Chains A and B, each alone.
Chain A
Amino acid sequence: MSATITPPAAVATRGRAPRRLALLIALLALVLAALGLAALLHGTPRIGALAELWPILLEGDGQRIARLVVWELRLPRLLLAALAGAALATAGVLLQDALKNPLAGPELLGVGAGAALVVAIVVVFRAPLPFALLPPAALCGGLLAGLVVLAAMRRSKSSVRLILLGAALTALLNALLICVISLGEQQEVAALYQYLLGSLAGRDWRHLSLAAPWLLIGLPLAALCARPLNLLQLGDEVAEGLGLPTVRTRALILALAATLTAAVVAVCGPVGFVALLAPHLARRLLGSGDARLVLPAAALLGATLLVGADLLARLAFAPIELPVGIWTTALGGPALLILLRRQLRPGR
Chain B
Amino acid sequence: MSAVGKKGRDGTTSSALRAAGVRVSYGDRTVLDGLELDITSGTVTAVVGPNGSGKSTLLKTLARLLRSAEGTVFLDGTAITSLPTAAVARRLAVLPQGPTAPGGLTVGELVEQGRYPHTGPLRMLRMQDHEAIRTALTLTDMTAYAARPLDSLSGGERQRAWIALALAQDTPTLLLDEPTTFLDIGHQLEVLELIRRLNRERGLTIVLVLHDLNQAARYAERLVVLDRGRIVADGVPRDVLTTALLAEVFGVRTHILADPESGAPLCLPYGVVGHD
Residue positions of A touching B, CB distance < 8 A: 1, 3-4, 6-15, 227, 230-231, 233-235, 237-238, 240-245, 287-290
Other-chain residue from B87, B117, B147 in contact with A15 (beta carbon distance below 8 A): B147
- Interface residue total, chain B, C-beta cutoff 8 A: 48
Q: Could you tell me if A241 and B106 are in contact, using CB atoms closer than 8 angstroms?
A: no
Other-chain residue from B65, B111, B186 in contact with A241 (beta carbon distance below 8 A): B65
Chain B 88-114: CB-based contact to A (< 8 A → 1; otherwise 0):
111001111001111111111111111
Measured in the bound complex, the distance between the Cα atoms of B102 and A230 in whole Å is 9
Measured in the bound complex, the distance between the Cα atoms of B152 and A130 in whole Å is 60
Q: Could you tell me if B99 and A235 are in contact, using CB atoms closer than 8 angstroms?
A: yes
Apart from the given pairs A13-B133, A14-B109, A15-B149, 14 other A-B contacts in the complex at a CB distance below 8 Å: A4-B156, A8-B144, A13-B109, A13-B112, A14-B106, A14-B108, A15-B106, A15-B147, A231-B116, A234-B100, A240-B65, A243-B86, A289-B102, A289-B103
Measured in the bound complex, the distance between the Cα atoms of B103 and A287 in whole Å is 10
Among residues of A, the one whose C-beta sits closest to the C-beta of B157 is: A4
Instruction: Describe B's contact surface by its main secondary structure.
Output: helix
Q: Could you tell me if B94 and A241 are in contact, using CB atoms closer than 8 angstroms?
A: yes
Q: Could you tell me if A242 and B147 are in contact, using CB atoms closer than 8 angstroms?
A: no
What are 30 residue pairs bridging A and B, where the CB atoms are less than 8 Å apart in the complex?
A1-B141, A1-B190, A4-B141, A7-B144, A9-B144, A11-B147, A12-B147, A13-B108, A13-B133, A13-B146, A14-B109, A14-B147, A15-B106, A15-B149, A231-B113, A231-B116, A233-B101, A233-B102, A233-B105, A234-B100, A234-B102, A237-B96, A240-B64, A241-B95, A242-B113, A243-B87, A243-B89, A243-B117, A289-B105, A290-B105
Q: Could you tell me if B96 and A241 are in contact, using CB atoms closer than 8 angstroms?
A: yes
Taking CB atoms, residues of chain A closer than 8 Å to B144 are 6-10
5 nearest A-B residue pairs (beta carbon): A13-B108, A243-B89, A243-B117, A243-B86, A6-B144
Q: Could you tell me if B146 and A10 are in contact, using CB atoms closer than 8 angstroms?
A: yes
| B37 nearest CB across to chain A (Å) | 19
Taking CB atoms, residues of chain B closer than 8 Å to A245 are 85
Q: Could you tell me if B123 and A243 are in contact, using CB atoms closer than 8 angstroms?
A: no
The answer to the question of B181 belonging to the interface, with a C-beta cut-off of 8 Å to chain A, is: no
Measured in the bound complex, the distance between the Cα atoms of B145 and A306 in whole Å is 40
With most chain A CB atoms within 10 A of its CB, the pick from B60, B63, B85, B157 is B85
Chain B 228-239: CB-based contact to A (< 8 A → 1; otherwise 0):
000000000000
The answer to the question of B68 belonging to the interface, with a C-beta cut-off of 8 Å to chain A, is: no
Taking CB atoms, residues of chain B closer than 8 Å to A9 are 144
Contact (A243, B85) CB under 8 Å given A15-B106, A237-B65, A290-B109: yes
Measured in the bound complex, the distance between the Cα atoms of B111 and A233 in whole Å is 14
Measured in the bound complex, the distance between the Cα atoms of B148 and A7 in whole Å is 10
Q: Could you tell me if A13 and B147 are in contact, using CB atoms closer than 8 angstroms?
A: yes
Taking CB atoms, residues of chain A closer than 8 Å to B90 are 243
| B246 nearest CB across to chain A (Å) | 31
Taking CB atoms, residues of chain A closer than 8 Å to B145 are 6-7
| B57 nearest CB across to chain A (Å) | 12
The answer to the question of B169 belonging to the interface, with a C-beta cut-off of 8 Å to chain A, is: yes
The answer to the question of B242 belonging to the interface, with a C-beta cut-off of 8 Å to chain A, is: no
Taking CB atoms, residues of chain A closer than 8 Å to B147 are 10-15
Other-chain residue from B64, B116, B149 in contact with A242 (beta carbon distance below 8 A): B116
With most chain B CB atoms within 10 A of its CB, the pick from A6, A234, A235, A289 is A234
The answer to the question of B214 belonging to the interface, with a C-beta cut-off of 8 Å to chain A, is: no
Taking CB atoms, residues of chain B closer than 8 Å to A227 are 116, 123
Among residues of A, the one whose C-beta sits closest to the C-beta of B119 is: A227
The answer to the question of B188 belonging to the interface, with a C-beta cut-off of 8 Å to chain A, is: no
Taking CB atoms, residues of chain A closer than 8 Å to B105 are 233, 289-290
The answer to the question of B135 belonging to the interface, with a C-beta cut-off of 8 Å to chain A, is: no
The answer to the question of B14 belonging to the interface, with a C-beta cut-off of 8 Å to chain A, is: no
Q: Could you tell me if A242 and B89 are in contact, using CB atoms closer than 8 angstroms?
A: yes
Taking CB atoms, residues of chain A closer than 8 Å to B25 are none
Q: Could you tell me if A241 and B93 are in contact, using CB atoms closer than 8 angstroms?
A: yes
Measured in the bound complex, the distance between the Cα atoms of B102 and A288 in whole Å is 10
Contact (A234, B146) CB under 8 Å given A15-B106, A242-B116: no
Taking CB atoms, residues of chain A closer than 8 Å to B110 are 234
Q: Could you tell me if B85 and A240 are in contact, using CB atoms closer than 8 angstroms?
A: yes
B9-34 with Cβ < 8 A to chain A = none
| B101 nearest CB across to chain A (Å) | 6
Measured in the bound complex, the distance between the Cα atoms of B26 and A35 in whole Å is 55
The answer to the question of B143 belonging to the interface, with a C-beta cut-off of 8 Å to chain A, is: yes
Measured in the bound complex, the distance between the Cα atoms of B145 and A218 in whole Å is 37
Taking CB atoms, residues of chain A closer than 8 Å to B107 are 13
Taking CB atoms, residues of chain A closer than 8 Å to B87 are 243
Taking CB atoms, residues of chain A closer than 8 Å to B99 are 234-235, 237-238
Among residues of A, the one whose C-beta sits closest to the C-beta of B90 is: A243
Taking CB atoms, residues of chain B closer than 8 Å to A290 are 105, 109
| B265 nearest CB across to chain A (Å) | 28
Among residues of A, the one whose C-beta sits closest to the C-beta of B140 is: A1
Among residues of B, the one whose C-beta sits closest to the C-beta of A246 is: B85
| A133 nearest CB across to chain B (Å) | 39
| A150 nearest CB across to chain B (Å) | 21
Taking CB atoms, residues of chain A closer than 8 Å to B133 are 13
| A139 nearest CB across to chain B (Å) | 30
Measured in the bound complex, the distance between the Cα atoms of B143 and A294 in whole Å is 26
